[in-house]
Homo-oligomer: A and B are copies of this chain.
Amino acid sequence: MGKLVECVPNISEGRRKDIIDAIVGQVKAFDVRLLDVESDVDHNRSVITYVGEPEEVRKATMSLAAKAVELIDMEKHKGEHPRMGAIDVVPFIPISEMDMTECIELANRVGKDIAETLKVPVYLYEDAATRPERQDLAQVRKGQYEGLKTEIAKPERRPDYGEARMHPTAGAVAVGARQPLVAFNVNLGTRNLEVAKAIAKAVRNSSGGLRFVKAMGFDIKDKGHVQVSMNLVNYKGTPVFRAYEMVKSEAERYGVPIIGTEVIGLIPMDALVDCAEHYLRITGFKRDQILENRLWSTSNKS
């Protein structure tokens, strides 16, 4: 497959199709593959996903950021989702033959360029964070666009690149590096929301559970059951099967069956193969034994 990185910019426009199209259109000039564009009217926000070689992704991202800064005016932006800038967040995610260090370098390069050329202050977040509290995007974005106008002057809110003042219309941007996120829901054979909440609490990191799991309990009223909804923020650190088995074990304690699970959106092949390896107890397996990996490798074209 060669070296591949994913970039998932979130822009603060989810309503005006012409503006969204103009911004997304920027990446089409580069050799990247556009996987998804999802716009939310209530959030007034769009999430754009593309993948390619690092240099192409870098150039596509700079071009997209420039257009977002040009076309989006944060002074007029309203939406339910927390945000602090026109191009709000820019995470880089390792997909193939990339390690996190390379994604952090890429985040720094892009962050520096955005600050210098677009005059938008940049905060590095998650694995690219320069301070522990900035690993958490919510902390970086605290106060949002409006609040940051004054907060940014404080030493603890000083951006990593650029001057300590907001861009007059584009605000600030968080640029980071992180593992692919896996959204994985477990449906329980009960209507008792308390059970789902108790299990979510047991498995999530914030209340003593697994390191890379975020979890909430939900009532899925129209289906007549409850759900443990998880975000696995690093499937290498906390594999899907481990999160699943922990939910299963906790559910057993309440005598509640698992009636099914759901993967929401995209999942890396490796996350699923790790599960097959675990349950089938496969030893010594190499990923190039997967036929498709041979086909898609760039090295052995005959």
**A interface vs B, CB < 8 Å?**
1, 4, 6, 27-28, 32-35, 50-51, 95, 180, 240-241, 244, 258-263, 265-269, 272-273, 275-277, 279-285, 289-296, 300-302
Chain B residues with Cβ below 8 Å from A291 are 6, 35, 51, 95, 180, 266-269
Are B281 and A50 neighbours in the complex by a CB distance under 8 Å? no
Chain B residues with Cβ below 8 Å from A281 are 258-261
Are A32 and B302 neighbours in the complex by a CB distance under 8 Å? yes
- A contact face: mostly helix, strand, loop, or mixed: mixed
Are A285 and B300 neighbours in the complex by a CB distance under 8 Å? no
Given contacts A276-B273, A302-B32, is CB(A266)–CB(B295) below 8 Å?
no
Are A266 and B294 neighbours in the complex by a CB distance under 8 Å? yes
Question: Which 10 pairs between the two chains have the least Cβ-Cβ distance?
Answer: A34-B302, A275-B276, A272-B276, A260-B283, A279-B279, A269-B292, A266-B291, A276-B276, A268-B291, A272-B273
Stoichiometry, copies per complex: 2
In the docked arrangement, what's the CA distance between A273 and B6, Å? 22
Are B282 and A262 neighbours in the complex by a CB distance under 8 Å? yes
Given contacts A35-B294, A241-B279, A295-B33, is CB(A284)–CB(B262) below 8 Å?
yes
In the assembled complex, the CB of A96 is this many whole angstroms from the nearest CB of chain B, namely 8
In the assembled complex, the CB of A256 is this many whole angstroms from the nearest CB of chain B, namely 14
In the docked arrangement, what's the CA distance between A89 and B50, Å? 43
Chain B residues with Cβ below 8 Å from A261 are 280-283
In the docked arrangement, what's the CA distance between A244 and B280, Å? 7
> What are 17 A-to-B residue pairs whose CB atoms are below 8 Å?
A32-B302, A34-B300, A35-B291, A35-B300, A50-B302, A180-B291, A261-B281, A262-B283, A263-B282, A265-B289, A266-B289, A266-B291, A267-B289, A268-B290, A272-B273, A275-B280, A292-B292
In the docked arrangement, what's the CA distance between A284 and B185, Å? 12
Given contacts A27-B302, A263-B285, A285-B263, is CB(A290)–CB(B275) below 8 Å?
no
In the docked arrangement, what's the CA distance between A246 and B283, Å? 19
In the docked arrangement, what's the CA distance between A111 and B259, Å? 49
Are A275 and B279 neighbours in the complex by a CB distance under 8 Å? yes
Residue of B33, B279, B283 touching A301 (CB-CB under 8 A):
B33
In the docked arrangement, what's the CA distance between A263 and B285, Å? 7
Are A240 and B280 neighbours in the complex by a CB distance under 8 Å? yes
In the docked arrangement, what's the CA distance between A252 and B260, Å? 27
In the docked arrangement, what's the CA distance between A276 and B294, Å? 21
Chain B residues with Cβ below 8 Å from A51 are 291, 295
Chain B residues with Cβ below 8 Å from A241 are 279-280
In the docked arrangement, what's the CA distance between A269 and B282, Å? 15
